[in-house]
Amino acid sequence: MPTALITGASRGVGAAIARELSPTYDLLLGGRPSPQLDALATSIDGATTFPVELTDHDEVAAETETISELDVLVHSAGIGGISTVEETDAQVWRAMFEVNVIAVAELTRQLLPALRAAGGHVVIINSGSGLRAKAGWSAYSASKFAVRAFAEALREEEPLLRVTSIFPGRIDTDMQRDLVAMEGGDYDASKFLRPETVARAVRNAIETPADGDPQDVVLRPRPH
């Protein structure tokens, strides 16, 4: 079977994508070492863990050396946060860009030979904040605008690869619960996209016939 590497696979959207792709892909499940990551790998036939700290670029280089062909790379790992421009210091900006942009760019760079060998597909889970910035979301939105630019440049530079950016609205995840708490609101999961819905969109993009190029996919929760 073809091989897919999914970052942020231990929970949330990443875990949902892993389950969605598991019938047709051998999976490399990326994430920090954890019981959750191990349990997911155990539950899926043909899955192994890729327990790499994505911000440790030497570790990323060492672990990717053994991957000679890669059909799909899904970037699902990321961090978020809410604060005003006045409250957001340089440390927050650095952390946001290190995880949401630089880690994506460096992992992709290290895996380009393997992706080229397979004529592969890079999928980046972006955000609605990568299309429109709102008050309180400056650092997060800027990082998502930046990774959107990275995806567009990669698509131009690597015409034999397919590059898809997924722009979901807010998703029912643990991170979303934290964000709603920061906003001071009550959490209502029905207002948000299900992780499985985003995972299905990823699978649909990957399964688009070879003559099509699914570049940008925008998902929004439907109003009740």
Active site members: 140
CA pair distance 129, 134, nearest whole angstrom: 8
Interior angle at CA 174, CA 29 and CA 82, nearest 5: 115
Hey, what amino acid is at 90?
A
- Whether the Cβ atoms of residue 100 and residue 127 lie closer than 8 Å to each other: no
Please report, as a single letter, which amino acid is at residue 118. Answer: A
Q: Which amino acid is at 102?
A: I
The closest of 10, 101, 99 to 50, measured between CA atoms, is 10
CA distances from 154 to 2, 83, 103 (A): 22, 30, 15
For helices 57-64 and 103-118, angle between their N-to-C axes, nearest 10 degrees: 10
Q: Residues 6 or more apart from 56 whose CB is under 8 A from it?
A: none
121-125/47-50 β-pairing: unpaired
